[in-house]
Homo-oligomer: A and B are copies of this chain.
């Protein structure tokens, strides 16, 4: 077995960027039909092959004349010309305009031979053929349909009340764009307007830069594709990185190819890596918890390729690998090994790999790929290597800065002196930035963070209000319009469904209330009593019934709290800081007081008191699964999931907004959903809920 390389000499991030830039990912150009060309990039210059328009084109409804014949005409002294025919758009002229004659033309018509200008119909009068009484043309130009061909009622002569110069109201052949002229340059991104110009030129197949093909190889024994059956007892988890990175590849203009899982068959994994190298411009794998899988990758790179770089001084991303894989056909494929945790993999992909994919596809970095923000809190760093810190964003500026302008001098950031009186410091037009650190193993960080801030190795602090550049996870990421925190509650979940692009972090009542005080979120939801006052505005409230949830039929005959303490029941709890737990602890306090015990005496006797689960319905699900005899929960959950509910009390749920955010549009929308009708609607069909 190959000796494993150690991460002793970590490369600088810049070296990693250069190593990736040195790889050739560029595919051959290709040709695509015009109607599939949007978003692609022209591979070569397109010159006009035809004149547009392809003929001298009348650009007004009126009469085609020889300009010379109109010289001297004016209102007082019109010139009369013989009408010899008509030409409509899409028809071949069947008349020639000889000296002394004219022909009716409609906009877009081919100018008949002999004519070199058009007089607008409004400046002409019809003159009857033989004493009939056809009046002026002015204002009657709408009746032109259907009188093609020389009908009997066509006037014999037209009077012109103005003179024209050659070329007047005529778009000469090639005047829009002439054959041989440069139409679009290489590297042009094709948006609707470029597609319009190509259409005008009659182009229906467009030479475009190829999309780099990016193979994604999964290397974890425990990974299962979404949609397939999962066996958690074997430690299986769904493969997050392959689909995330595949979507990132598409977004960067590449063509992702997912290779099947090799499971723990290393010979098969090696075969897949070689196959991917043969078929793709770039091969990506993401870190595996399996040491053997990494060894296979090493062996393939060393036997058939080059290892350019191993280990980068960046957090996350230290174990990044960069190399080249030889192909059967004598060419090379690029290889990058990404870290294994989802947020880390997406961060490293976005920072180091996506730019290379875009470059190969000929696409610029989208303008929306980064956002300037300001730190909502002071944060300490100084980790000795580049930190790509996951952060959430909250855009407070939408309301106050509709015109996108700010004359605020605080924009040059960095100093805590910029602090405003009632909110985080810094340019108020910039979104707030707050770190999200749930541990990089959490997939939910993917949607609780919006991007990363690169913090230099030698930065010790980011100050509150300091300007930072956030690299969004993708250009399509929109920061939420509202940030809520607090209790996990089914009515809150329904409420969130009615808002546009909210973010809610179910951190529990106590932590939510604390964060509201610290000034980051707009809104906090608490259940049960709160211990201190935070400057806030109550937007709405309701009551919910909580208690002990036991299996269908209540096989243990649980009747109340005392059963948990006194009997040998397996219980499942909720974490400290949640409203449910606060309710339980207060009830235990009362029971202990009744008995003359301390609460600790009682909780020591509850099997599972320390087993806490993160979501409000998790304890009930444990009960359902037969893994517990009783769980802390809501009547709502118990009834919805078909369990028996043993009530212990009601608690008040309150939605509060930070006082200085109460005027925000998003907060006002939330408040509107919490008026009397709104609350009634919200609580409908939620058992145990009341306004």
Contact = CB atoms under 8 A, between A and B. Distances in A.
A497 B46 CA distance: 10
A444 B243 contact: no
A639 to B, nearest CB: 14
Contacts of A182: 493, 496, 504, 506
B500 A238 contact: no
A596 to B, nearest CB: 29
A459 interface: no
A89 B615 contact: no
Interface stretch (A104-112, A331-339, A529-537, A598-606): A104-112
Contacts of A189: 476, 478
A193 B238 contact: no
Interface in A78-122: 87-92, 106-110
A577 to B, nearest CB: 15
Nearest to A182: B493
A467 interface: yes
Interface stretch (A19-27, A142-150, A513-521, A560-568): A142-150
A228 to B, nearest CB: 8
A4 interface: yes
Interface residues on A, range: 35 or more
Contacts of A53: 232, 237
Copies of this chain in its oligomeric complex: 2
Interface string A397-421: 0000001111101011100000000
A194, A264, A409 interface centre (most CB from chain B within 10 Å): A194
A437 interface: no
B193 A235 contact: no
Interface string A39-78: 1000001011011111101010000000000000000000
Given A172-B613, A243-B35, A200 B342 contact: yes
Interface in A608-627: 610, 613-618, 621
A376 to B, nearest CB: 19
Contacts of A236: 54, 90
B618 A191 contact: no
A669 interface: no
A146, A198, A409, A502 interface centre (most CB from chain B within 10 Å): A198
Contacts of A237: 52-54, 57, 108, 200
A235 B110 contact: yes
Contacts of A35: 243, 246-247, 258
Interface stretch (A287-295, A379-387, A679-687): A287-295
A220 B90 contact: yes
A506 B181 contact: yes
Contact of A176 (B184, B241, B443, B497): B443
Interface string A464-495: 00010100011011100000000010000100
Contact of A199 (B6, B110, B183, B238): B238
18 contacts: A35-B258, A38-B251, A51-B618, A52-B238, A53-B237, A89-B220, A90-B235, A92-B234, A92-B235, A109-B235, A174-B615, A178-B621, A179-B617, A179-B621, A182-B506, A196-B244, A197-B446, A204-B226
A260 interface: no
Interface string A1-45: 100101000000000000000000000000000110011000001
A503 to B, nearest CB: 9
Given A55-B232, A172-B613, 14 more contacts: A48-B615, A51-B232, A88-B290, A89-B222, A108-B289, A178-B614, A179-B617, A179-B621, A180-B637, A181-B614, A186-B497, A191-B247, A202-B227, A203-B227
